[in-house]
Amino acid sequence: MAEVTPRVSVPPRRISILGATGSVGASTLDLIAHHRSRDSGCFEIEALTAQSRVAELAGLAMRFRPRLAVIGDPSRYGELKAALAGTGIETAAGAMAVEEAALRPADWIMAAIVGTAGLRPAMAALRPGVTLALANKECLVSAGPLFMARVAEAGVRLLPVDSEHNAIFQVFEPANRAAIDRLILTASGGPFRTWTREQMRAATPEQAVAHPRWSMGMKISVDSATLMNKGLELIEAHYLFDMPPSQLDIVVHPQSIVHSLVSYKDGSVLAQMASPDMRTPIAYALGYPQRIEAPAPRLDLIAMGALTFEKADLARFPCLALAEASLKEGGIAPTVLTAANEIAVAAFLKRRLGFLDISHVVEEVMTRCVSGRPLTLTTIEDVLSLDREARSCAEESAKALVS
């Protein structure tokens, strides 16, 4: 009998997506749909979670048929249950249920919740046999040493999905780690790359989230406008690749084609290039160690024009300077930084704060909560308690700025 050649080389695997209704969640599901259209048996889904967009979650559940759908906001449970009645899909609600979804049997989990809210679910996903595709950078910034210790302890395969870290992962030669000079993260520069501080003072949420290259969730879009995103990514790179701050660089590259680079002692600089489309790094993580098809635009080297690189301007983008300082300080500083930033960005999006106030709030909270406190964070509870403290401090600081 002739051997049957499988139509796709993708192994079937059981997947859960934490943060399925977000931008990264949507790109992940788009890839899964793409592969399922060729092989309906590939990529079965165990769990999908979302925070509040219940109709969207129910729609995704009807389409992708997970075993479990979880809504974080418990007040929306009735709607989810009613929408999925008779489908055989289990439903649950609440923060604990999101965490429990991460504990369900799966061999590939996408951590795509935004903010420190994703920390507990991502930690729950760190179990032997799981490959964790990590998009949620805030959980690493907030609890880096604890997170990476758990990764090592559980023997988890951790694959970075953030495009810069995914690029570095692709060109990072573990056997030549000692020959690495530096990791160079590229930044698009965001929508205000050429704006003066005076122009930024009046920037609206609509202008801040209108990213020139990437289509992303609201919070990361504002972080890209302040360059806090690049600061969080420096900290993320420090933990992921175990590289000291002195070997981490940032270069502004407005075309967003070179996603990051690794510079070696022999003078070689290895870069990963692709169109700015998250389906490429997600496909890398989904297929790893194979490379699988992604329905992302192919790079046209002739059509793309010149690639340019410039220095990041710390004076116009103080959030980047604050993040760099917190990385150098270490300890509790990054935990406080990212918590304060989440509150300040949320207040800006609600028009309670101006764009330039974001860095003022973060700076004030860093001074009040961090200075002279040699606290070590030995448990996740320590991290979450400091996170709460920094958030309430940021709320106070935001209130004081508007009154």
The residues binding ligand NAD (CB under 6 A) are 19-25, 50-51, 53, 72, 98, 112-114, 117, 135-138, 162, 214, 216-220, 278
State the minimum distance, in angstroms, from the CB of residue 164 to Mg ion.
5
Please count the helices (runs of H) and the strands (runs of E) in the chain: 16, 11
DSSP 3-state of 69: strand
Residues 205-224 that bind Mg ion (CB under 5 A): none
Q: How far apart are CA 180 and CA 194, in angstroms?
A: 32
Task: Give the interface segment with Mg ion, choosing from 111-119, 164-172, 203-211, 342-350 (CB under 5 A).
Answer: 164-172
Task: Give the interface segment with Mg ion, choosing from 144-152, 161-169, 178-186, 204-212 (CB under 5 A).
Answer: 161-169
Interaction partner, residue 216 (ligand NAD, Mg ion, none; CB < 5-8 Å by kind): ligand NAD
State the minimum distance, in angstroms, from the CB of residue 374 to ligand NAD.
28
Q: Which long-range contacts (CB under 8 A, 24 or more apart) does 125-129 make?
A: 125/16, 125/18, 126/150, 126/151, 126/154, 126/156, 127/103, 127/154, 127/156, 128/154, 128/155, 128/156
Closer of 42 and 45 to ligand NAD (Cβ): 45
Closer of 118 and 254 to ligand NAD (Cβ): 118
Task: Give the interface segment with Mg ion, choosing from 110-118, 163-171, 267-275, 320-328 (CB under 5 A).
Answer: 163-171
State the minimum distance, in angstroms, from the CB of residue 125 to ligand NAD.
13
Max CA pair span of the chain: 80
Q: Shortest Cβ contact with Mg ion: which residue?
A: 162
Residues 6+ apart with CB under 8 A from 97: 70, 72
Closer of 51 and 256 to Mg ion (Cβ): 256
Strand 269-273 versus strand 108-111 pairing type: unpaired
Closer of 23 and 188 to ligand NAD (Cβ): 23
Q: Shortest Cβ contact with ligand NAD: which residue?
A: 22
State the minimum distance, in angstroms, from the CB of residue 112 to Mg ion.
13
How is residue 42 written in tokens? 């590939």
CB-count burial class (<10 Å; 0-12, 13-18, 19+) for 114? buried
Total binding residues toward Mg ion, as defined by CB under 5 A: 3
Helix (H) or strand (E) holding 383: helix 380-402
Which residues are bridge partners to 132 per DSSP? 109, 158
**162 lies in the binding site for Mg ion (CB under 5 A):** yes
Task: Give the interface segment with Mg ion, choosing from 160-168, 287-295, 322-330, 380-388 (CB under 5 A).
Answer: 160-168
State the minimum distance, in angstroms, from the CB of residue 193 to ligand NAD.
18
Closer of 69 and 187 to Mg ion (Cβ): 187
Residue in this structure with the two tokens 């055989």, named with its chain if needed: 88
Interaction partner, residue 25 (ligand NAD, Mg ion, none; CB < 5-8 Å by kind): ligand NAD
Interaction partner, residue 220 (ligand NAD, Mg ion, none; CB < 5-8 Å by kind): ligand NAD
Helix (H) or strand (E) holding 74: none
Interaction partner, residue 282 (Mg ion, ligand NAD, none; CB < 5-8 Å by kind): none
DSSP 3-state of 312: coil
Q: How far apart are CA 58 and CA 81, in angstroms?
A: 9
Closer of 17 and 42 to ligand NAD (Cβ): 17
Residues 6+ apart with CB under 8 A from 217: 22, 23, 24, 114
Question: Which residues of this protein are in contact with Mg ion, per CB under 5 A?
Answer: 162-164
